[in-house]
Chain A
């Protein structure tokens, strides 16, 4: 039985186990039909031309882990941002771990999707927002069909959430192969501000496939600052679909740091439903071996006077492959749009490759849209300059790569996180930089 059949046949058992009377039941039932009709995407589809899922779909994944697993904090502490106070929503093999989490209902709701979906207290928010911007493509539908667990974050109006929120998914490796489908809902009301860090971490080399969907709703004048750390083990793959709905005068940032994993596909979509707002998406990808990272972005400028900024840097070594497909749509109404997109890549090996494709669809006439992509090697004259000052080749290369990624790193607003990512990059590049950049 292939994975599609297995998922479709598992659905009934899954659905009967949870609340069949809730309105979400209908949403799930429709979603499984949509998935059943379309199946997994193939390279024949334009959006998947450069990314094949074949190698990750071949495993016999457990869709529901047989047992609940526990982890000791001391063993996994390093995956947390632990030097500052944060809220934490932690899952182990898809199950919520209250032991490792620190949630709250004190003025804001930082808790679990599974309880938000069933408790009356959250019904209004679920009715208004759940699955409202997630589209009906096959992978999102698949996630919707099995949506039950994940992070539920609701920040009522006029709240500045001082502690960042960490969402971490661990895979223990107790299953030979595991499929996870977390579903996050983040609703930020007027004038509020929240920072979120998301991470998926497999603890062994057993295959893991995560098909994650996150919906983010940013109401007027709110600020959402979201960081994705993708530094997983070599047999862990991630399909991350994130949808951001922005209203007037909002600022939303998504930073994606892709340093590890077998295959990563990021579908990042911004919908600008209002005026005078700014959407920023930035990323650093540093991969090697046979790793593959695909950034598929969309900004939909719907109304006038808005901006969007995209800045993705990639460094590819060995036989690694990258994809950047950045789509910007400017509707006829969306005059005075400023949309910027840039994708710069360094190939460190003859076998590494990147497919980069800007896609601009502009229907308004008074707009500024720019895009640029570069593919190159490290600057030899800069390398010589540093070596002339006594800095050895390896460190000089690393410094240049830091310099190359700096535009993205410099806009990380949590200093401890910035430091952590700097260290991750240094480790990835195999150097010990004697200072914090």
Chain B
């Protein structure tokens, strides 16, 4: 599904990603871990098409198609979803209206008519129930006055509505208490299928107790320096990142 080959990227002439190679197949869950400042969020933003980042070298392919010339919205239309570490607030636009606009924009890009209101409502009801989201919450302004947990749950709600092929969850576990974490993880597990893939970006092992990764990668200094199975995450949890840094820097 996703192939990243020798990806180098920079922001404001500061080089951040220095040769990333990664392959994610349909049906897989990958976890990308690493210390602060290693380039995890940058990788997520570059895949999603944030314009401030400049790809200097390498390529990102989604189902064989090079994403280089596609704007963020075009990548979204092709099935890339990024759950933001810091979702933005949009006063005056309700959660429901925002997601309607997002869904219908994607449909329009695919040459489809707007989703009938009845189907939309049904889907909103199902997905919000799955994530234990209160009805009243849906009529509030997007992310305005939401707690950290509510913002993250709202991200996963949007993911559930948009049914992406590739979901990248950037630090979705940060700011969540244990109940919210369980609900969010539950939602992600329910959305997982053999046709889509999930990339989890996280600092901690905690989330991986709920969403089982097939592969764990360690990102350090803009490179993937170690890859392994779920056991790697446990090792990192126990020993921290210093041993990896030492290994790499040696």
Name A's B-contacting residues (CB within 8 A): 379-382, 384-393, 395-396, 399-400, 402-403, 405-407, 409-410, 433-435, 437
Contact = CB atoms under 8 A, between A and B. Distances in A.
Given A388-B75, A389-B158, 18 more contacts: A379-B88, A387-B49, A388-B49, A388-B72, A388-B81, A388-B82, A389-B99, A389-B105, A389-B162, A390-B76, A390-B103, A392-B109, A395-B101, A402-B93, A403-B90, A406-B92, A434-B100, A437-B92
Interface in B8-65: 45, 48-52
Contacts of B99: 389
Contact of A395 (B49, B76, B105): B105
Contacts of A387: 49, 71-73, 76
20 contacts: A384-B45, A385-B88, A388-B48, A388-B75, A388-B81, A388-B82, A389-B162, A390-B105, A391-B101, A391-B105, A395-B101, A399-B93, A399-B101, A402-B92, A403-B91, A433-B101, A435-B97, A435-B100, A435-B101, A437-B92
A390 B71 contact: no
A381 B97 contact: no
A382 to B, nearest CB: 4
Nearest to B96: A435
* Interface size range on B against A: 35 or more
Contacts of B76: 387-390
A384 B52 CA distance: 10
Interface of B: 45, 48-52, 71-73, 75-77, 80-82, 84, 87-88, 90-93, 97-106, 109, 114, 141, 158, 162
Please report whether the interface of chain A is mostly helix, strand, loop or mixed according to DSSP: helix
Nearest to B83: A388
B162 to A, nearest CB: 7
B51 A384 contact: yes
Contacts of A400: 90
Nearest to A391: B105
Contacts of A392: 73, 105, 109
A381 B88 contact: yes
Contacts of B97: 435, 437
Contacts of A407: 91
Contacts of A385: 84, 87-88
A395 B73 CA distance: 11
Contacts of A379: 88
Contacts of B158: 389
Contacts of A435: 97, 100-101
Nearest to A384: B50
A290 B183 CA distance: 53
**Of listed B72, B93, B99, B103, residue having the most chain A CB within 10 A:** B72
Contacts of A390: 73, 76-77, 102-103, 105-106, 109, 162
Contacts of A393: 71, 73
